[in-house]
Structure 1
């Protein structure tokens, strides 16, 4: 399959997931996406995405632990004991879906420096984040009771929460991209640009 075929498949899966939210519920969609992830990584063109998936899972788990009681919903969304798995899965798939779509487009940008990749990835992430947040809040009526008293971002009235929480939302995409790069994901990717990392010189690539 070509990269364009994979891009269309990824866009189709993302569209179906968003459209299914009001029909079968957020929790069910998250569980189905988790089940789909298992055979997804067995596709020949997607095996290299397992590492970014695990990095996204680690970041999502850390964020859910930091946020703690800042997530509380009217209905129980994927509770594991007293732990709400909704923010973990939301951030896991939010970060990873963006990385998957970006991976499909990366071959068109591989001649550009790393900061261009970071900028494009971040813009894609912010656009997707705001779209999902606006749809969740204004269309599907998803409400985080713990942050309803806080103002949302200007212009979209979404991502209600204290400033540190809003800043963390917007920063998570760039941080994810930087983490993937520093942890060496680019080493085995044919379209990743050259990286000259002074902090971790072992990550520098000489041949692309």
Structure 2
């Protein structure tokens, strides 16, 4: 049934390891007025074709975003991807289409391919561009998790990279990596950080 859900109103290689106000982290104040949509002054690489071990995330190439879940994911992992896209990306201007089969070359490639790959260590997820179409945009991103049943935090985080959202340190001006305003884009994985949040939503809407 979930494959019939056609529309959700919705790098450095990224890896996850185990508002209008100012807020403090330690002794430093961080502002919610910052840009964390690729490119930024601190994430200014050119988008390019990459591979698992040397890829970079960019920005997806348009607001109509197709996704596919490869067989390496569990049934629960597949469901959690759909739930995360519906709950966190539906308030944005992105329109997400769930495909039963991926397209891996040509002019109509699937925009995000979700899959499992055993990384080991502290790496929970990796996102990279497979087919750059400009120095900013990518026609196809791969998102791989070191678990066949990733948490919704990991799904939200890596999907964020696939649409161009950065970590706090790559924002302009830089933000604390664990700043609450970053929502699920915090650099330190925690299963409770599954919300995209209003700031990231506004970043996506501004870009798409």
Shorter-normalised TM-score: what interval? under 0.3
After TM superposition, the score normalised by the length of structure 1 is 0.24
- Structure 1 or 2: larger helix share? 1
- Structure 1 or 2: larger strand share? 2
Structure whose alpha-carbon radius of gyration is higher: 1
Q: Which has the higher contact order (CA 8 A, sep 6+)?
A: 2
